[in-house]
Amino acid sequence: MKIITVSYRLPLSIKKTKGKAKITQSAGGLATAVLSYSAKSNVNLTWVGVADFDKATWDENKDNYDRNFDIEPVFLEKQLNRKFYNVFSNSVLWALFHYFPSFVEYTDEGFEAYKRANEIVAEKINSIYEPGDVIWIHDYHFLGLPKLLREYQPNAKIGYFLHIPFPNFEIFRILPNKAKKYILEGILGSNVAGFHTWDNTIHFTECIEKILGIPHKNFLFSQESHRTKAGSFPISIDFDKFHDAYDKENVVALRNEIKGLYGDKKIIFSVDRLDYTKGITNRLKAFEKFLEKYPEWSEKVVFLLVLVPSREEIKKYGERKKLIELNVGRINGNMGNYKWTPIVYQYQPVNFDKLIALYTSADVALISPVRDGMNLVAKEYVASRKDLRGGLILSSMAGAAKELKEAITINPFDAEMIAEKLYYTLNMGEEEQERRLERMQRYLKKHDVFRWAEKFLTEIETIYQHDTKASDMKGDAQTILS
């Protein structure tokens, strides 16, 4: 028996130097958590995902790296992968599920590629599946997969987790009927369908009822072959990893360097993938408003804006980048002077130590997505503040706001409000900072990513066992009657 985890990206990187490839398994939150669960339960873990490297490189090097689990890459033909990933997944599903209907660029060609890619991945999983295995499917790239796998393996234990919001009926219904049906029936192939929040879960159940006409009882949908339980499973982080990093030698050195650079100035910090859902332009305009409204803060604050390149092949992302850079330039030009640059902007990823050094140097973390499934940056910031200093400003549109009750919440569309909350948080006393962070840390320490994975995987077993028992009893009753 094994756990088969499926996600678009594989937790692995291949670096080529001087023609030699080096494979490294990466230890992201999700991989660490599933691995920890599989080790505890004494079962193996196999990860299936789409390869972003060529088959020849893989075949040459696959037996030659340190492994904690097995990896099964799926090699998709380049054009198919582009249409599947960029055209349907990211230009239709990502946009619509984040409430950007005007950004949706639906094409039948994209939808067909999406279905084909799901079929190819299903074939791959089916080829390695053994009875008793648990299959855990992740995210919006594989909405059709639970149903396809159910057709292959009617008795399989299948979990599906969506990392982005599930939109309400009015937004979801915008999709062509065939796509709506494909998605909903697809998810219903699972035994457990998980979302970050109850709001998302309710949106999903409403869509099932209104579009497929299937009612639920306590979020359970009964079907012929199995039942699907929908529920809220808010993802989290490896709390200890972020908390303990505060004292790492390299982190301390980097933090001293950052603090030394900015002296007495207060630091506002944000880090995101460059994505239109993250509310970056709104955030910049709000910072500008803050400087206009509170000129006494001029030269006394600096905003460190770190953006990580993302989905650069998609037009909307390039347009957004231009808009952000126009705003950064305009604000720095209008508000700054030869001694002071209000916004320090970086369009490059940062490594873990630098990220922690930045989190722990910041007086304020300003997180303002206009829509976000969870937002792990907010949780990471809180966890890393072992010194109990700093304030978290968080958009109420992020799933994380439902749990981080001591954050200063904002409406990301309301620049005036954000400016005021910035003023409040920058002036917040140490006692209040401690009180807020302590409560949120207590919560996160308990609700970490390990607990999340365990809860989800246990739920699959519970529903499955219950259904198996019920069908056995039905079988027994039939035998007695005959």
Listed in sequence order, the residues at least 6 apart from 69 whose beta carbon sits closer than 8 Å to its beta carbon are: 25, 31, 35, 38, 44, 45, 46, 47
Q: Which residues contact 202 (CB under 8 A, 6 or more apart)?
A: none
Yes or no: say if 70 and 127 are a contact pair by the CB < 8 Å rule: no
Sign for the pseudo-dihedral over CA of 184, 148, 3, 376: negative
Minimum CB–partner distance for residue 432 and ligand ADQ (Å): 25
Question: Within 337-428, where are the H helices?
Answer: 352-359, 376-384, 415-426
* Interaction between residue 349 and ligand ADQ (CB under 6 A): yes
Q: Mask of contacts with ligand ADQ, 428-457, x by CB under 6 A?
A: ------------------------------
Cβ atoms of residues 271 and 368 within 8 Å: no
Interface positions, 240-279, toward ligand ADQ (CB under 6 A) = 271-273
Identify the helix (H) or strand (E) that includes residue 206.
Answer: helix 198-207
Using CB under 6 A, pick the residue from 48, 93, 158, 164 that binds ligand ADQ. Answer: 164
Cβ of residue 271: shortest distance to ligand ADQ, in angstroms? 4
**Residue 182 vs 452, nearer CB to ligand ADQ:** 452
- As measured in angstroms, the least distance from the Cβ of 347 to ligand ADQ is 9
Report 104-133 residues binding ligand ADQ (CB under 6 A).
none
Size of the site for ligand ADQ (CB under 6 A): 18
Minimum gap (Å) between residue 375 Cβ and ligand ADQ: 4
- Choice from 12, 355, 404, 422 touching ligand ADQ (CB under 6 A): 355
Report d(CA 257, CA 251) in Å as an integer: 10
The SS3 call for residue 234 is coil
163 is a site residue for ligand ADQ (CB under 6 A): yes
Closest approach of ligand ADQ to the CB of residue 80, in Å? 24
Toward ligand ADQ, which CB reaches closer, 74 or 367? 367
- CB count within 10 Å of CB 205 equals 19
Query: Considering the complex, what minimum distance in angstroms separates the CB of residue 360 from ligand ADQ?
Result: 14
Nearer Cβ to ligand ADQ, position 380 or 420? 380
- Residue 235 Cβ, how far from ligand ADQ at the closest point, in Å? 4
Task: Return all residues near 148 (Cβ < 8 A) that are at least 6 apart.
Answer: 118, 119, 122, 186, 189
Nearest alpha carbon to residue 90 among 188, 17, 9, 211: 9
Is 211 or 397 the residue whose CB approaches ligand ADQ more closely? 397
Of 380 and 448, CB closest to ligand ADQ: 380
Q: Which is nearer to ligand ADQ, 456 or 464 (CB)?
A: 456
Closest listed residue to residue 50, CA positions, set 113, 98, 134, 133: 113
211 vs 444, beta carbon nearer ligand ADQ: 444
C-beta closer to ligand ADQ: residue 121 or 271: 271
The CA–CA distances, whole Å, from 380 to 15, 36, 266, 367 equal 27, 20, 20, 12
Q: How far is the CB of 398 from ligand ADQ (least distance, A)?
A: 7
Q: Which is nearer to ligand ADQ, 23 or 374 (CB)?
A: 374
Pick between residue 164 and residue 366 the one whose CB is nearest to ligand ADQ: 164
For ligand ADQ, the closer CB: 150 or 163: 163
Range 23-29 contact pairs with CB under 8 angstroms and sequence separation of 24 or more: 23/61, 23/62, 23/64, 23/65, 24/65, 24/66, 25/65, 25/66, 25/67, 25/68, 25/69, 25/71, 29/235, 29/236, 29/237, 29/238, 29/376, 29/449
Minimum CB separation of residue 161 from ligand ADQ in Å reads: 8
Give me the least distance between CB of 377 and ligand ADQ, in Å please.
4
C-beta atoms surrounding 387 within 10 Å: 12
Whole-number minimum distance, CB 194 to ligand ADQ, in Å? 11
Over the window 366 to 385, marking each residue x when it contacts ligand ADQ by CB under 6 A and - when it does not, the resulting string is: ------xxxxxx--x-----
Write out the DSSP string of 409-461: EE-TT-HHHHHHHHHHHHT--HHHHHHHHHHHHHHHHHS-HHHHHHHHHHHHH
Out of 306, 314, 394, 415, which residue is the one contacting ligand ADQ (CB under 6 A)?
A: 306
Q: Alpha helix (H) ranges present in 91-144?
A: 94-97, 108-128
Binding-site ranges for ligand ADQ (CB under 6 A)? 163-164, 235, 271-273, 306, 308, 349-350, 355, 372-377, 380
